[in-house]
Amino acid sequence: MGRKILFITTDQQRYDSLGCNGGTVARTPVVDGLARDGMNYRRAYNQNTVCMPARSTMLTGQYVRTHGVVANGVPLPAGAPSVAAYLHDKAGYSTALLGKAHFEPGFDLQMQWPENRMAKDGSTGPYRGFEHAELAVHVPAFGERPLQHYGRWLIDNHGIEATKGFSPLLAAQPGGETGAPETRINPIPREWYHTDWVADRTIAYLDSLPADADWFVWMSFPDPHHPWDPPASEQHRCNWRDLDLPPGHPGSPAEIERVLAQKPAHWLGLWEGSFINAEGGPGSYRPQAVTDDNIREINAMSHIMNELIDEACGRVLRRVEERGWNDDTDVIFTTDHGELQGDYGLIFKGPFHTDSLMRLPMVWRPAPSAGVRGGHEISEPVGQLDLAPTFCEIAGVPQPEWMQGAPLPTAPGSGRERVLCEWDSQFPGYGMHLRTIYRDGWLCTAYEPSTVGRPNGLEEFFGETGMFGGGIGPMSSVAYQGTEGELYDVEGDPHQWENRWDDPGLGALRADLVADLYSGLPAERTVLKVERPA
């Protein structure tokens, strides 16, 4: 028997949402316990701040520019490498993915991609190296049409009415008690909600395995990503009226404008309404229409969702222990990206390279049988790029050449110095390109010249469907020359309010960080078509 791997991910969860990372509202004793017994990575960063690129990096162990999924709407090629396939073929692991995948576009009414077609076909795999896959997205249905395995299960077992309590995705529809966008008090019973469904399906899969199986199971929760609509029965967990604005909120419109005016133009443009964040949230979202109470309610809903995830993790871990596997099971917990969640007065995500979106919760509890001493807080930078190599190390198989990261360190003193993140627009009319390095306590982002209007493939879809009137689609009100950037001292300025890019006393440091950034990125770049808007 080898060491088993339970890989747990959430979607759009902030670093500071966990008690072990300073969170003071949501109760997360299960993940906090994993951190106490293992390693808590204080400076874990993603390689992209939206779902599909980040998740493709976790699956392949490659930089975004290598696997080619540079933005949402770019399907990961069917032949792309997969750590699940590698562990299955090289080490004989049983492999499963339960929950959100999102390696292929979700905007797929023709069901062109397997991820969206599997449930309709009655298939549970194989899929991208996973022998078994049961998938879910944030909402169970689009109109009357079920989405993925969770939507099919919910409608088949509880009827179409069970789907009606979810807020529509990417519509910014007001709801809840304050009229907050994409917020709703969902009457669905907790046991029907997708968080418990993902845990239930994970337990069912584990129960299907023989006692001597080696397994790699990716349990992937769709929450706390918007829409913010957890079950109504759980509203007692957190009352939005009891919450302060988050620490990253400047406190007043005047202070928001002061902070955002220091940053590149799209930040303040978003606040003022001249720049539309079409690539990271609903196109109808306007920050100044979101009240302080809206932000409080969104945060309360997020805290509730995070508590439900933590309890679901506890149920699965208890089942692992009941099967007699705990001593040989490594558990890794992380997310794909963060959420602004009121920082700077903003919500959602997008081309905003600060800790709100880039810094990740990442915890590894090695199997007790591994003999790795836990209880470490590791401050050296690590990334999602390093997860696949870590799985290989746990399984005792060599890291393949196509993986570009390195196994996560198990103690301080690894000597790691940097981690890199990239952004490339999915809409050809936006054409934004950001490159970021975290090193030595500094977060540095270089803005490359914008390519507003340059075709990238998505215009073909707009032309075929007439979406956005056809043509190139939405156009950005902001274009960058390639001289702009952001530079933050993340310890002295934990919310990144003071942009020091133009500080004359930091010119040499800035130049050194930018040079290090570009020397660390792979020179070759895979260019794939953007095929869908989401």
pLDDT digits (tens, 9 = 90+) for 473-511: 999 999 999 999 999 999 999 999 999 999 999 999 999
Question: What token pair was written down for 10?
Answer: 């959430």
Residue 431: pLDDT band with limits 50, 70, 90: very high
- pLDDT score for 109: 87
Is residue 302 helix, strand or coil?
A: helix
Q: How far apart are CA 473 and CA 379, in angstroms?
A: 42
- 238 closest CA partner among 251, 228, 250: 228
- Give the pair of three-digit tokens for residue 394: 């746990």
Q: How confident is the model at residue 2 (pLDDT cuts 50, 70, 90)?
A: confident
**437 pLDDT band (50/70/90 cuts)?**
very high
Q: Would you give the DSSP letter of residue 242?
A: G
Q: Mind listing the pLDDT tens digit for each residue in 282-335?
A: 999 999 999 999 999 999 999 999 999 999 999 999 999 999 999 999 999 999
Q: Is 338 a residue whose pLDDT tops 70?
A: yes
pLDDT at 114 over 80: yes
Q: Is pLDDT at 49 greater than 90 in this prediction?
A: yes
pLDDT(170) > 90: no
Q: Two tokens at 392?
A: 């290989």
| Helical spans, DSSP H, in 63-147 | 64-67, 83-91, 114-121
Beta strands across the sheet bearing 376-378: 132-135, 94-99, 215-224, 4-11, 329-335, 363-365, 39-41, 376-378
DSSP letter for each residue of 449-489:
PP-TT---SHHHHHHHH-GGGSTT----S----S--EEEEE
Q: Are 449 and 478 in contact (CB under 8 A)?
A: no
Joined together, the tokens standing for residue 61 give 């162990």
Residues 6+ apart with CB under 8 A from 500: 487, 488, 489, 506
**pLDDT confidence of residue 1:** 59
pLDDT of residue 86: 98
Q: Of the candidates 481, 488, 532, which has an alpha carbon nearest to the alpha carbon of residue 513?
A: 488
Number of helical H runs and strand E runs in the chain: 14, 19
For the stretch 343-370, pLDDT in tens is 999 999 999 999 999 999 999 999 999 9
Residues 6+ apart with CB under 8 A from 27: 19, 307, 310
Task: Quote the radius of gyration of the chain (alpha carbons, Å).
Answer: 22
4-248+290-414 CATH fold: Alkaline Phosphatase, subunit A (3.40.720)
Q: Which of 465, 330, 434 is nearest to 49 (CA)?
A: 434
Residue 117: both structure tokens together: 């077609």
Structural tokens at position 164: 């009606």
Q: Over pLDDT 90: what percentage of the chain? A: 97
Question: Cα–Cα distance between 336 and 426 in angstroms, integer?
Answer: 18
pLDDT of residue 185: 97
Select from 55, 4, 12, 8 the least CA-distant residue to 30.
8
How does pLDDT run across 256-270, given as a tens digit for each residue? Answer: 999 999 999 999 999
Whether pLDDT at 469 is above 90: no
| Nearest alpha carbon to residue 445 among 482, 409, 470, 413 | 482
Q: What is the mean pLDDT of residues 411-425?
A: 97
If one counts every other C-beta atom within 10 angstroms of the C-beta of residue 306, the result is 30
Cβ neighbours for 392, distance < 8 A, ≥ 6 positions apart: 83, 86, 87, 398, 399, 400, 403, 407
Specify which residues 40 forms β-bridges with: 363, 377
pTM check: above 0.95:
yes
149-172 core/surface letters (b: 16 or more CB in 10 A; e: else)? bbbbbbbeeeeeebbebbbbbbeb
